[in-house]
A and B are shown apart, each in its own frame.
Chain A
Amino acid sequence: GQNIDQPTEMTATEGAIVQINCTYQTSGFNGLFWYQQHAGEAPTFLSYNVLDGLEEKGRFSSFLSRSKGYSYLLLKELQMKDSASYLCAVMDSNYQLIWGAGTKLIIKP
């Protein structure tokens, strides 16, 4: 079967750095996506990785290792508004997105 694993919840301090991990086992791989979802709102796109390595976009970076079936989302200089759930999704061989259950990130002052 297909599986995406990520921690259920993480806590971090304002101004700090946090890394959210995602491991996956899917039938085929056509890219990995990270989305942010604030409570009661829709998911919004953050990043896309299809090749190994690090993609940096402002305070957010995303890393992919296809051989290890592993990705992480790195958030720097945390702000209170970063409190949200972060969803990892993999596009499989049928070009359908397989979603993790999400990591709820709590930022404390």
Chain B
Amino acid sequence: TAGITQAPTSQILAAGRSMTLRCTQDMRHNAMYWYRQDLGLGLRLIHYSNTAGTTGKGEVPDGYSVSRANTDDFPLTLASAVPSQTSVYFCASSEGSQETQYFGPGTRLLVL
């Protein structure tokens, strides 16, 4: 069972460039999430989607956008990357918005 996959595994990106982080789940979960994890801080929610076709803003949404065209995919786009977006990005999913969240392997992004 694949669960949740993320791509790429890691990336070095020049400041000002755009990039899309991909996330796909095969568990038919309704809810999906994007977090960033920085040293010394807890996971912070960027955007979420409670069901296909809907999205919402989390704690740190600025500079990021998402879409949820279908149940399985939840891509995260950085329109114009800045060095402060250097982080590890985790995608997660849950059966419902109140259920346990399961995480993908993460994408390590370095913005120079």
B74 at the interface (CB under 8 A from A): no
Which A-chain residue is minimally distant from B6 (CB atoms)?
Answer: A42
Complex CA gap A48/B100 in Å reads 8
B22 at the interface (CB under 8 A from A): no
Q: State the majority secondary structure of interface residues on B.
A: loop
Chain A interface residue count, CB cutoff 8 Å, equals: 20
Distance A41 CA – B106 CA, assembled complex (angstroms): 8
Known: A30-B98, A48-B100, A95-B97. A101 touches B90 (CB 8 A): no
**Proximity string of chain B (41-82) to chain A, C-beta cutoff 8 Å, 1 when within and 0 when not:** 111110010000000001000000000000000000000000
Judging by beta carbons under 8 Å apart, are A96 and B58 in contact? yes
Chain B residues within CB distance 8 Å of chain A? 40-45, 48, 58, 90, 97-98, 100-106
Question: Which of A's residues lie within 8 Å of B, judged by CB?
Answer: 4, 30, 33, 41-45, 48, 87, 89, 91, 95-102
